[in-house]
A and B are shown apart, each in its own frame.
Chain A
Amino acid sequence: MSRSTLVNWLLVLAVLVIAVIPLVFIGSDTEFGGADGLAVEQIEADHPDYEPWFTPLFEPEAETASTLFALQAAIGAGFLGYLFGTLNARRRLAAARPDSRLDDPA
């Protein structure tokens, strides 16, 4: 494994560690509710008379919403993968052409 690849994997590892630390050390009985939801609770606690004056036209229930979040991540990741593949192929093809502006060996 090249040094560069190693660094990339270490970056991934660091992100995973940071994400898992709270789960391990704060305990599994914590709900880890979204900060956005906590802000709403804070508003409702301070201003019990406030009525949201507009409601979402379409509101999926919690389970469906988490599926949709996963779908959002999957669509984005799939598109990123496609773009990386295309960029890589384009670079290789350009490098294989003798008249290419890209002199970088693939």
Chain B
Amino acid sequence: MHIAEGYLPPLHAAAWTVVAAPFVVHGARAVVRQVREDPDTKLLLGAAGAFTFVLSALKIPSVTGSSSHPTGTGLGAILFRPPVMALLGTVVLLFQALLIAHGGITTLGANAFSMAIVGPWVAYGVYRLVGRLGGGLSVGVFLAASLADLATYSTTSVQLALAYPDATSGVLGSIVKFGTIFSITQIPLAVCEGLLTVLIVRLLIKVSPEELRRLGVLRTPAPAQQEV
């Protein structure tokens, strides 16, 4: 979903930066507030950041014959609500833009919008919805993380389509074109991302049940017997 450096026309690059910036600033404040109000959750916050750092570096081959990477933003959105991921996701994108020339500074706003804003909010919405419908924690986490991953790549397709409408079929035709490149490739990866996020939540429940209960992820009082 990384739009390469210089590949969004200046007006689009500027617009996405303006759209993403308030979310990132708000996210930075959310991170500071979280650390100040509940310092014990600092390590979990680090885990959410590290998880997205690892997953966005994993290039996984897909059935379309191309490869892509998960985003890892669902975990933090579920644990800490989406705003913190606006910051953490953008930091990861900045690292990749500066050191690996993957993505870019001019496209940072657009990439942050898809990976650090849309993805986390979709994850959080799906997670809450599944909870309300009575689904278990694992089901909620799996669907939240996979759909966040797909939503991120679909957002990229729309962003590119808006910048490069097809000569004959317009923006819609272009969405299909970029969607074929990104979203179809991403389907098996989204499943991987869902499974990996379920795995890390299960592991976190083992080592940090008290904090997860305080964050509202774990509701039952007896974590030792809790089957997830």
Q: Do A and B come from one complex?
A: yes
Chain A residue at minimum C-beta to C-beta distance from B103: A36
Question: A76 touching B68 by the CB < 8 A rule?
Answer: no
Q: Nearest 4 pairs between A and B by C-beta?
A: A52-B6, A76-B54, A76-B53, A56-B101
Contact with B along A4-29 (1 / 0, CB 8 A): 10011001101100110111011000
Query: A-side binding surface: helix, strand, loop or mixed?
Result: helix
- Output the least CB separation between B91 and chain A (Å): 12
CB distance from B63 to the nearest CB of A (A): 5
Proximity bits, A72-88, B CB within 8 Å = 1, else 0:
11011101100110111
Determine if A72 and B95 form an interchain contact, defined as CB atoms under 8 angstroms apart. yes
Chain B residues numbered 1-58 whose CB sits less than 8 Å from any CB in chain A: 1-7, 9-10, 43-44, 46-47, 50-51, 53-54, 56-58
Roughly how many angstroms separate A104 CA and B226 CA in the complex, as a whole number?
11
Known: A11-B199, A65-B102, A76-B51. A4 touches B7 (CB 8 A): no
Question: Given A53-B6, A65-B102, does the pair A84, B207 have CB atoms closer than 8 Å?
Answer: yes
Binding site for A on B (CB under 8 A): 1-7, 9-10, 43-44, 46-47, 50-51, 53-54, 56-63, 65-68, 95-106, 153, 156, 160, 164, 166-167, 177-178, 181-182, 185-186, 188, 191-192, 195-196, 198-199, 202-204, 206-211, 222-224, 227-228
Whether the Cβ atoms of A53 and B54 lie closer than 8 Å is: no
In the complex, residue of chain A having the shortest beta-carbon distance to the beta carbon of B223: A104
Chain B residues within an 8 Å CB radius of A102: 209-210
- Report whether B178 and A39 are in contact in the complex, using a CB–CB cutoff of 8 Å: yes
* Cross-chain contact A36 with B178 (CB below 8 angstroms): no
Say whether, besides A7-B202, A47-B164, A77 and B54 are in contact (CB < 8 Å).
yes
Contact B164 A83 (CB under 8 A): no
Question: A34 contacts which chain B residues (CB < 8 A)?
Answer: 59, 66-68
CB neighbours of B101 from chain A (8 A): 56, 58-60, 65
A43-B164, A79-B46, A88-B206 provided; 9 other pairs, C-beta below 8 A?
A: A35-B67, A35-B185, A42-B181, A46-B164, A59-B101, A76-B57, A79-B50, A80-B54, A102-B209
CA A2 – CA B62 in complex, angstroms?
Answer: 32
User: How far does the alpha carbon of A94 sit from the alpha carbon of B202 in the complex, in Å?
Assistant: 20
Q: Number of contact residues on A: which range applies?
A: 35 or more
Contact check, B50 vs A76: say whether CB atoms are below 8 A apart: yes
Check if A1 is an interface residue, CB within 8 A of chain B: no
Q: Which residues of B contact A65 (CB under 8 A)?
A: 100-102
